[in-house]
Amino acid sequence: MSLGAFSWSSKKQPIVTLSTTEAEFVVAAYCASQVVWIRRIMEKLGHSQSGSTVMFCDNSSTIKLSKNPGLHGRCKHIDVRFRFLRDLTKEGIVKLVFCGTQEQIADVMTKLPLKLDIFLKLRSLMGVCRIPEVNWQLSLRVVVMRYFMFCFSLFLLE
């Protein structure tokens, strides 16, 4: 919303998963439940979300699974989470969208060997930084404009 992370988590999964797709699916379902909660809070604060919330995920088969109702051989056992995420997608509350590993900010929360430049890039994408400088140019422009308006009003009064 404001280019700064406000809610995050990094946890070990409670279950052993059989494939990357399943692992990603577990996160997606977990994250979706957080989405529901945050959307509710936002609604209370008077900022209800109009469309469905975009959830970026770097596994395309997870995205396909969340959309297609068919069951696939290797995902037969993903039961409750399966239904949960699919229902939320159908109701238009969450929408899974693919993003490449380079833009996947949540990567910082899950992996150890990140290259330094990628780490620094992802960190700044999260909004983590030193105190940003005040935009002096912009402030100066505002001050100058106000001064001119003041002079102009004086001129009008005369």
Partner 1 sequence: MLDVKSVFLHGELNEDVFAEQPKGYEKKGSPNKVYKLKKALYGLKQAPRSWFSRIESYFVKEGFQKCHSEHTLFVKVSKEGKILIVSIYVDGLIFIGNDESMFEDFKNSMILEFDMSDLGRMRYFLGIEVLQRDDGIYICQRKYAMEVLRRFGMEESNYVHNPIVPGFRVCKDTDGVKVDVNFFKQMVGSLMYLTATQPDLMFVVSLVSRYMEQPTELHLQVLKRVLRYLKGTSDFGIFYKKGRSDDLVAYADSDYAGDLDDKKSTFGFFFL
Distances (CA, A) of 133 to 123, 129, 137, 143, 144: 18, 11, 11, 18, 20
Distances (CA, A) of 51 to 48, 71, 98, 112: 9, 27, 18, 35
Q: Does 111 bind partner 1 (CB under 8 A)?
A: yes
Where in 33-62 is the site for partner 1 (CB under 8 A)? 34-35, 38-39, 42, 44-47, 49-51, 53-58
Q: To the nearest whole angstrom, how small is the minimum distance from the Cβ of residue 156 to partner 1?
A: 29
- 84 vs 109 by CB, closer to partner 1: 109
Q: Does 20 bind partner 1 (CB under 8 A)?
A: yes
Q: Does 85 bind partner 1 (CB under 8 A)?
A: no
Q: CA torsion sign, 93 to 74 to 106 to 100?
A: negative
Q: Does 84 bind partner 1 (CB under 8 A)?
A: no
